[in-house]
A and B are shown apart, each in its own frame.
Chain A
Amino acid sequence: DAKTTQPPSMDCAEGRAANLPCNHSTISGNEYVYWYRQIHSQGPQYIIHGLKNNETNEMASLIITEDRKSSTLILPHATLRDTAVYYCIVRADTGGFKTIFGAGTRLFVKA
């Protein structure tokens, strides 16, 4: 079963920041938080991941709470092309590396 909880859908205005929350209250010490997104009829695209510290790359920022029980993906300036389903996943760095997907958040970016 997926170990994360996300809102089913969110709206965001184009040009504004999109903040997507994720709850992973049962996360273990060796589990990373990964974010992927899936645009219709394509395979999932990796966005960002982190263990404890906040992370930033050219696509997004990842804010992980100090207790690691939740995180937020931030798309700083959402565009229409960011409309997609966003998946938050926790996965250990050892073992079988299985990645189990939850339902994700469907983000609609509106003009």
Chain B
Amino acid sequence: GAVVSQHPSWVICKSGTSVKIECRSLDFQATTMFWYRQFPKKSLMLMATSNEGSKATYEQGVEKDKFLINHASLTLSTLTVTSAHPEDSSFYICSAGGSGGSPLHFGNGTRLTVT
């Protein structure tokens, strides 16, 4: 089946620094990828839609200048958390696929801890 790889699986950074998370579709091309965040014991919240070769579309309430998304190729999207603060600590998950009724496939997530 389709595989989505996410890296790193966990990261600890200091407040004020930036962190980049990569999401790759390993065996298919993805013109669209999605980024979610998840707080403990909560459901996944869609942050943004990443579009290959164009600007990402952010959900209401998500700061586009804080969560920079780049989708430079058909197999790679990156999410950069800029000037991270402790409240940005969360579980970030990417997904790809879903065209024509096919299911989305998800990465295994990145646990970000900002100290």
Contacts and interface: CB of A to CB of B under 8 A. Distances in A.
Contacts of A87: 43
The B interface, classified by DSSP as helix, strand, loop or mixed, is strand
Contacts of B1: 46
Contacts, number: 60
Contact of A43 (B32, B57, B108): B108
A58 B3 CA distance: 18
Contacts of A38: 44
B74 to A, nearest CB: 15
B6 interface: yes
A97 B51 CA distance: 12
A38 B43 CA distance: 10
Contact of B109 (A36, A41, A46, A103): A41
Given A98-B46, A99-B46, A44 B98 contact: no
Interface residues of B, number: 27
Interface in A1-55: 32, 34, 36, 38, 41-46, 49, 51
Given A34-B104, A38-B44, A85-B43, 9 more contacts: A43-B4, A43-B6, A44-B95, A96-B49, A96-B57, A97-B98, A98-B49, A101-B43, A104-B43
